[in-house]
Structure 1
Amino acid sequence: MPDLITLGETMVLLTPSFQGPLEEASLFLRSLGGAESNVAIGAARLGTSVGWVSRLGKDPFGSYILKRIRGEGVDTSRVQLDPSYPTAVMFKEIKAKGNPHVYFYRKGSAFSRIKPDDLDESYLSQARILHITGIAPALSQSSRETIYAAVEIARKHRVKISLDPNIRLKLWSIEEAREVLLDLASRCDYFLPGEEELNLLFATTDRQEWMKRVQAMNLPCTVAKLGEEGCMVIDGNGCRAIPGFPVDQVVDTVGAGDGFAAGFLHAVIQGLSVDEAARIANAVGARCVTVMGDVEGLPTREELDQFMGRTAQIDR
């Protein structure tokens, strides 16, 4: 059985073959994108045994996603194919500067119809960590109920729970997101927010203020992503800054947070300390931004060692 299980929706990702307005694009490159499957693929490439639980349309896009993720070594045995509802689609608009603009077409998708009865308790109960994000609870009432059911199963069987809030304000209001995500965070062992998400959750841009608010929640472990600065570990031993890894050129930031989570969870499962896991997470996230695509920049263990300077890269 997998050591790490992720639960969430994956979409077909269509990216224009050129930089510029999406409305002018006529040729697209196909890939896939989904925070939870990104984490699954990232951890699998590093050598962790991973399972992904989801629901796809029984259509060509669903077939493509299933084959692609299975081909990465991720267990997809608990993925259901729904003949009545479609696989979701997303488009990425590439800009010369700044983050890409992403458009989602996921309303009424197969995953939005997932329900608690679709979960296999015996499968979830044997994992070491369950990883969820704040995306699935925003998609529909039934998907929210499914996430809460998965969390309760994990708690019942003493499976550790990881949460990346992944706030998507195109899906719900900040007020609703704040209520649900802070509640979910209180049930988790590893909380992996970005600084912008903490600003939204606590309605402040003062770093010292949200650090105090996180400490007041008494969570087992929070690792706050700080971009190029690295991250901040907040736990029972206080607050510690873990430096980031510099990169020469940022190509695509989408998926870097998922890479961070994959690196962190992989390292925790390997038995490393939280601080060392955070350092590895920083490296994976930094490596991701140097490559175009949600999953294309996720490194193998060998590539990660080279990026971190642990081994030399032989080019010829």
Structure 2
Amino acid sequence: MSIYISGSLAYDRIMNFPDKFSNHILPDKLHILNVCFLVNDLEERFGGTAGNIAYSLALLDEEATILATAGSDFERYQKWLTKHGIRQDGIQVVQDSPTASAYITTDHSDNQITAFNPGAMNVSTNGQFTEFNTRSGLAIVSPGNLEDMQKYPEIYREKGIPFIFDPGQNIPAFSGAQLTSMIQGSRILIANDYELSLIMEATGLDKNGLLDLCSAIVTTLGEEGCIVTDRNSEQRIPAVKVKDAQDPTGCGDAFRSGLIKGLRTDKDLPEAAKLGATCASFCVEHKGTQEHRFTVDQFWDRYASAYK
């Protein structure tokens, strides 16, 4: 089965501020805010929704095709993808823009200030990847270029490729009519509980109304697990407990990787969600979205232990 992932590729540049932001911001001067935070260090990590999902799928021995744009500084990320055996023939390099990047500064209270530069992500792939396997394919439309997020559901419907629709943080960028159109015909709509409420508010549809558009809804709840809903049932799937949680960033993308692994191996949706929770548990044990490691045997051992 061919797996297609549209979304973003980005460099995450992470900095630590050795104090609290609140000690350097005067509440009565917010209308003329002008602050400078001297940070201790700068770490560059590989990220972006498409890159994160493809990375964990590679750990699960699954080959996926990334459909995204990257910039002129993509070489470091390209070497990382090559190292992990991730296909790049669906990635288009935009030479006059940098790869998307997030600049994240965290203080001693774990408050964060983030600046995001979309860079090459502003450029659509135009759906130009032409090697879609219509006989055996599975796709996910994750947050990335806004045009691509509207275009790929159309392509997958036309080609008969089952797809997961995952609008994430880009929900506010679309009208209710646009969201309705993108969800239409999807195998799964996936969102956290807050995002799902935004979708319902924008579209004017409750869960039953959304299930007229898609086959199932997966609502992620962080450390509380997730809820799998279809026309016939609603089932809560518990999260996999870990001894030392370090960072939830990227766990949602890891969850999606495990979910896709389950669907690709013909598991039903609740069981696939358990694989998603298992994959997410490895990610939460590390800081960063592509810093976790596991063997396939370690994955299945943890899955069996968590859901025996």
Superposed pair shares fold, TM > 0.5? yes
**Which residue of structure 2 aligns with residue 66 of structure 1?**
78
Distance in 2, Cα, partners of 1:93 & 1:259: 23
Q: Is the 8 A contact 2:247 2:287 kept in 1?
A: yes
Aligned to 2:29: none
With over 3 angstroms needed to count, the CA separation of the structure-2 counterparts of 1:256 and 1:99, relative to structure 1, is farther
Q: Is the 8 A contact 2:105 2:113 kept in 1?
A: yes
Tell me which structure has the larger Cα radius of gyration.
2
Q: More deviation in 2-11 or 45-54? A: 2-11
The question of whether the paired residues in 2 share the 8 Å contact of 1:192 and 1:224 is answered with yes
SS in 2 for 1:192: strand
Alignment partner of 1:79 out of 84, 91, 94? 91
Q: Which residue in the other structure is 2:103 paired with? A: 91
Deviations 1:64-109 (A, max 9, x none): 1122122221110122222222222212223455575432112xx2
Equivalent in 266, 271, 293 of residue 261 of structure 2: 266
Q: From 125, 129, 132, give the equivalent of 1:120.
A: 129
Residue 36 of structure 1 corresponds to: 50
Cα deviation code 1:230-277 (max 9, x no counterpart):
111111322111122223343211111101100000111011111110
Q: Alignment partner of 2:197: what SS?
A: helix
**Contact 2:49–2:143 under 8 Å retained in 1:** no
Structure 2 residue corresponding to 1:193, chosen from 182, 191, 194: 191
AA of the residue aligned to 1:110? A
Q: Which runs of 5+ in 1 are unaligned?
A: 138-143, 312-316
Task: Give the partner amino acid of 1:111.
Answer: M
**Conservation of the 8 A alpha-carbon contact between 2:17 and 2:105:** no
Report the identity percentage.
19
Give the Cα–Cα distance (whole angstroms) in 2 for the partners of residues 124 and 17 of structure 1.
44
Match of 1:141 in 2: none
Partner of 1:140: none
Q: Secondary structure at the match of 1:155?
A: helix
Distance 1:298 1:213, change over 3 A: farther
Partner residue in 2 for 1:288:
283
Runs of 5+ consecutive residues of structure 2 not aligned to the other structure: 22-35
Q: 1:19 to 1:133 in 2, by over 3 A?
A: farther
Structure 2 distance, partners of 1:223, 1:92, is 29
Cα deviation digits, residues 163-207 of structure 1 (max 9, x gap): 2221247xxxx3735543343122311111111111222249xxx
Tell me which residue corresponds to 1:8: 7
Instruction: Note if contact 1:128-1:159 (Cα within 8 Å) is conserved in structure 2.
Output: yes
One-letter amino acid of the structure 1 residue matched with residue 252 of structure 2: G
TM-score, L = length of structure 1 = 0.81
Q: Which of residues 218, 221, 227 in structure 1 aligns to 2:222? A: 227
Give the CA deviation at 1:124.
5.8
Q: Offset of 1:160 from its aligned partner?
A: 0.9
Say how many residue pairs are matched: 289
